[in-house]
A and B are shown apart, each in its own frame.
Chain A
């Protein structure tokens, strides 16, 4: 077939380059700059390792085999595995319903099933505690976490299913396989990468989650780290637990990389016909709505019910609330600006050039993705105390922690923003007499602006909702909405926590609304 399509002239030239990338090596200054930016992301991990080994190897091994540490590790791994598995099953089913069943209000259903992403896990836990104050332990944590995390699987799998060719499944059916076996044989391999990528997100999320498990009193490593750190006489143990957690997270990331097989895309263009659900539609809708109901509606209604109690309204400390809103916004804004600035060179490099060095730099930039917030927080406490004591307990270190944690989001969207600008526009601009810098400013950056803005907003949203690193690193006297909410819930003051929870939801909605606005205009153009 290929012989028929290609022209009959044989050539010994190398195959044409991938569009949008230069085959030439990146300019050295960009490589150096990007490498420096990526290197900042390694500071917490490197310092954590340094700090732990300082304590001495024997002591390290001693601590490691203590039953307490083992118990925490097993708890963490069990919860992560259970949540990942249940999210994978529920998310894939939801994605299948969204793409293959003809339901009314399909777009709305898709939006609704993405909603739990907007709710921080500790807020969901808070919402459930309002209704059931005695909820605690493994099953409660598993349930709420699954409901919060399912969209991480639903959304990518739905997208993959929409793009998957249905031809193979049809062929499998005509060759005598039943619907389930045909799906497994033909369609699952096409959506597998998306499903596994989603599962990775879920797994990392549940490994590094601190707020939800603490509120539901299930003792995992993150809880143990915070407790050990709070006890303050045993900081070595906190560092060690953090190291164990990081190793778990890195193992998960490495496992996902290994299982990520290259899937050759199937050229067929036809999509699977959607089926009419008939009388069973309430079943499908119920499955779809399970996660949004449990992850959003129950907590938010609980929150509102508490908020509207007269007692709560009377007790709102308005100046303190405004102060927390201000601190949250200011920190998030600073984090967004710095994260985008640091991400820019890495993203520019990754969008335009390929090669081993470029891949390494990009991967290092993504390190924060695998680092739990509490680990970054703890490591930066040590680092600030040892290396830059002037910055200890200042917003500088906290913003830096946000940058390390959320730089991957900025890199991702800035990179795709830059990648959508055809390199030929840059060529044209150069040929018309503009220097590389002027070209970047007047053409590339100008056109990549939506991507850059989305990156900044994603960082801002994440920073607003961040809890564990903020708890460890916030300057004395500064509280964000997340920390206020957490400290009140920890004391079972659900009513007093309500205004902060409501403010957090509202404040985090601002960038979310902006985000959908930018995406909307970007699509129109």
Chain B
């Protein structure tokens, strides 16, 4: 059972469905990336989890608390989630420190950030929640009655609230490395600094779940890769459960514990980064998370016959060994689509096996490695990723091998 469980969630804008029957389990303390092209509904998914959009179907529970379900639609401010939007969105009228402390209770007025199930949100009454003394008393009572063992303890109201608030702001500013900038205005920060403040601001109230909506997309590439590694480390060090939305497959694969690949409002595959990259469930996922080499082939009992000879192959990303296999695998002799990763190809001196002999026709040099195009005997062109120093030259004849099981998919998929 995941810490965050999403089941059968659907979202529709009017008549058009954006999300359809989405289910996702996020283990506690893990960083899950939702990866998909723009327009696939990944941001919608995030906003629906946050409560910023109403869902049309499905349930969401966080740490055992139902936040969305039949008849339950908790207001975003009562979900205990942190939100890091794409453009940092710092409050321009507040200093960095005030931004970080924005979600921390300042006075007795708004001391219970975490509310418990059973409370219906929304409506005109919900607007004024927290403003009237009675509503606050009710909410506090609810909280004490329904506390589940999984739920984090609410921030205990203590007399030195002001100092604890200041201490928390200082702690977070230090955590994101901006301790000396707390009195700055947001307009004086660089893009990377602003995104760090946004992160600190979301972390401050100790959310049960962090939601990050393409937080690095607006940064320049160099800063992006440095910051995202740092942020992932920081989230792990805080034992935070996080959901990151991105369209950058490198970001998803390098940062996340699990990756969910989305397309057209559906989650196509959920698994570890290696699962998704090495055993994609269909050619589209394979192509979206990385470069591919595509060949036509014929299935022959766990192997495929293709332009690179007869290769051991897995059917639709499943390991033949684990899988009962044969049931889902096609009959021998079926034409299939064969996919390889360019870096799975190996080069060796020309062999006697004539079929895999290939001529080097083009080299796309990228410094650390190169994508080398080879023309096979039959005129077929394949590309191999070759590590940098030992690159062939155009015209060289080599023999190609494959170091890993090929992937086979039905034609037309």
Contacts and interface: CB of A to CB of B under 8 A. Distances in A.
Interface string A23-38: 1100001000000000
B37 A7 contact: yes
Contacts of A12: 264
Contact of B13 (A14, A429, A432): A14
B39 A16 contact: yes
B192 to A, nearest CB: 18
B38 interface: yes
A15 B81 CA distance: 28
A317 interface: no
A16 B89 CA distance: 19
A434 B77 contact: yes
Contacts of A309: none
A13 B130 contact: no
B130 A432 contact: no
A287 B203 CA distance: 62
Contacts of B51: 430
A6 B110 CA distance: 46
A525 B131 CA distance: 31
Contacts of B205: 432-433
Given A12-B264, A425-B91, A427-B85, A24 B54 contact: yes
Contacts of A322: none
Interface residues of A, number: 30
B312 interface: no
Nearest to B43: A16
Interface in B89-139: 89, 91-93, 102-103, 110, 113, 124, 126-131
A433 B38 contact: no
B37 A437 contact: no
Interface string B6-50: 000000010010100000000000000000011111000001001
A428 B83 contact: yes
A175 interface: no
Contacts of A7: 37-38
Contacts of A438: 110, 130-131
B364 interface: no
A14 B16 contact: yes
A433 B128 contact: no
B301 to A, nearest CB: 34
B397 interface: no
Contact of A427 (B83, B126, B201): B83
Nearest to A425: B89
B89 A435 contact: no
B373 to A, nearest CB: 19
A430 B76 contact: yes
Nearest to B109: A438
A438 B41 CA distance: 29
Contacts of A436: 75, 126-127
A15 B47 CA distance: 17
Contact of A447 (B92, B103, B264): B92
Given A11-B40, A424-B87, A431 B75 contact: no
21 contacts: A9-B263, A11-B264, A13-B18, A13-B39, A15-B39, A23-B13, A422-B87, A427-B89, A428-B198, A428-B202, A429-B102, A430-B75, A430-B76, A431-B82, A432-B103, A432-B202, A433-B113, A437-B128, A437-B131, A438-B130, A446-B93
Interface of A: 7, 9, 11-16, 23-24, 29, 422, 424-425, 427-438, 443, 446-447, 525
6 nearest A-B pairs in the assembled complex, by CB-CB distance:
A432-B103, A431-B83, A9-B37, A430-B76, A424-B89, A13-B39
Given A425-B89, A433-B77, 4 more contacts: A11-B38, A23-B13, A433-B205, A437-B128
